[in-house]
Structure 1
Amino acid sequence: MLVTRDYCVTMARYNAWQNKQLRDAFEALSDAELRKERKAFFGSIFKTANHILWADRMWMYRLGIGDAPEGDHLSLTPTPAVWAGERYKTDARLIAWAEKLDTVDLKGDVVWRSVMADRDFTHPFDLCVSALFNHQTHHRGQIHAMLTAAGATAPVTDLLFMPEEGPWL
């Protein structure tokens, strides 16, 4: 797998840009609309957003970028305002990590125990980095669909439309 520093920087910036748009979209919806059951995999827009943040932090922990998340993946943050602040800090940490990477940092294996799967895993570091960014994109697509169904303006998600210059956060 070819994962480079440039790939990581681009994807970390893309992630932050996407989450900035989600923060803006969430501000336009009521708390009730964000928490409304929508028959999605994690139920609501807000639960899905919490899941992404929780999983980002879990992957970052496994990759040596931060602490493991505490609490349940669907209720990591209690309010959209708290989520927005935590999302911003997490995205900034991920960008800072990516910008400091050297090629050698992307080599080796990541070993962890999954409580949910009740087993140990070992995978190449670069594959785990790809899993982090892929997971974000997958579930943000679900949020996009829920925002559209709620009548809200959903973010522009095409990577090719990402601004060449920041701010991404």
Structure 2
Amino acid sequence: MDARAHFLTLARYNGWATRRLLVALEPVSDAQYRADAGLFFKSIHGTLNHLLVAEHQLWFRRFAEGLSPTVALNAEVEPDRTRLAAALQDGALRWEALIATWQDTVWDGALNYTNMRGQPQSLPFAATLAHVFNHATHHRGQITAALTALGHASPELDMVYLLQGQVP
């Protein structure tokens, strides 16, 4: 598989898994959604806000625009639950469109940006993009564990189900 096809699959999985998780969160009460669940970013809401910050306000802008924004990783950039869900879904869709535009030469190149401490960074492009999708998977896993602990059903998010076409 070529790099573009691989990363388009990861982007498609990211959107699919994000949608499934957000649907599974709909029956969760606002009190449970905002309560400290022992996650790194405390609550389900805090963790979803972190995903919006990291995936869309930091990494997407680094890859798409060559910018290095500064925003706290624990910032509550969207307090409204419905708007946060919409922003996460919309953001996930943007990755596929962006990846489709890249030339074949980018995969073996570097992503140059300035980190949150103001230090210049140069990381392998493809491996860093893999980090973005892996990071989202990690935090979705934390949220599904919180859902289970709260007594709610956890959605099936294994990528193999997307690939098999078994779970819409």
Question: Is TM > 0.5 for Structure 1 vs Structure 2?
Answer: yes
Tell me which amino acid in the other structure corresponds to 2:141. G
How much is the aligned-residue C-alpha RMSD, in angstroms? 2.5
State the match for 2:6 in structure 1: 7
Q: When the two structures are superposed, what TM-score results if normalisation uses the length of structure 1?
A: 0.86
- Which has the higher relative contact order, 1 or 2, with Cα contacts under 8 A spaced 6 or more apart? 1
State the match for 2:133 in structure 1: 133
Residues 1:119 and 2:99 aligned together:
no
Q: When the two structures are superposed, what TM-score results if normalisation uses the length of structure 2?
A: 0.86
Tell me which amino acid in the other structure corresponds to 1:154. S
Per-residue CA distance 1:45-85 (angstroms, 9 max, x = gap): 11111111211111111112587667544312112101111
What's the CA shift for 1:94?
A: 0.8
CA 1:127–1:163: 2 relative to 1, 3 Å: closer
Where 2:97 maps in the other structure, the secondary structure is helix
What's the CA shift for 1:38?
A: 1.2
Asked if the contact 2:67/2:113 (under 8 Å) is kept, the reply is no
Where 1:64 maps in the other structure, the secondary structure is helix
Asked if the contact 1:106/1:126 (under 8 Å) is kept, the reply is yes
Tell me which amino acid in the other structure corresponds to 2:47. T
Tell me which amino acid in the other structure corresponds to 1:150. L
Per-residue CA distance 1:120-155 (angstroms, 9 max, x = gap): 321111111111111111111111111111111112
CA 1:28–1:65: 2 relative to 1, 3 Å: farther
Where 2:94 maps in the other structure, the secondary structure is helix
What's the CA shift for 1:28?
A: 1.0
State the match for 1:162 in structure 2: 162
Asked if the contact 1:113/1:119 (under 8 Å) is kept, the reply is yes
What's the CA shift for 1:100?
A: 3.4
Asked if the contact 2:108/2:126 (under 8 Å) is kept, the reply is yes
Asked if the contact 1:65/1:97 (under 8 Å) is kept, the reply is no
- What are structure 2's unaligned runs of at least 5 residues? none
Tell me which amino acid in the other structure corresponds to 2:121. F
Tell me which amino acid in the other structure corresponds to 2:135. H
Asked if the contact 2:66/2:113 (under 8 Å) is kept, the reply is no
State the match for 2:34 in structure 1: 35
State the match for 2:53 in structure 1: 54
Q: Percent identity?
A: 31
Asked if the contact 1:63/1:110 (under 8 Å) is kept, the reply is yes
Compare the two structures and name the one with the higher helix fraction.
Answer: 2
Query: Number of matched residues?
Result: 165
CA 1:43–1:72: 2 relative to 1, 3 Å: same
- Please give the alpha-carbon distance, in whole angstroms, between the structure 2 residues aligned to 1:85 and 1:69: 22
CA 1:66–1:25: 2 relative to 1, 3 Å: farther
- Please give the alpha-carbon distance, in whole angstroms, between the structure 2 residues aligned to 1:128 and 1:70: 18
- Residues 56-135 of structure 1 aligned to structure 2 (within 5 Å): 56-57=55-56, 58-64=58-64, 72-74=72-74, 75-115=76-116, 117-135=117-135
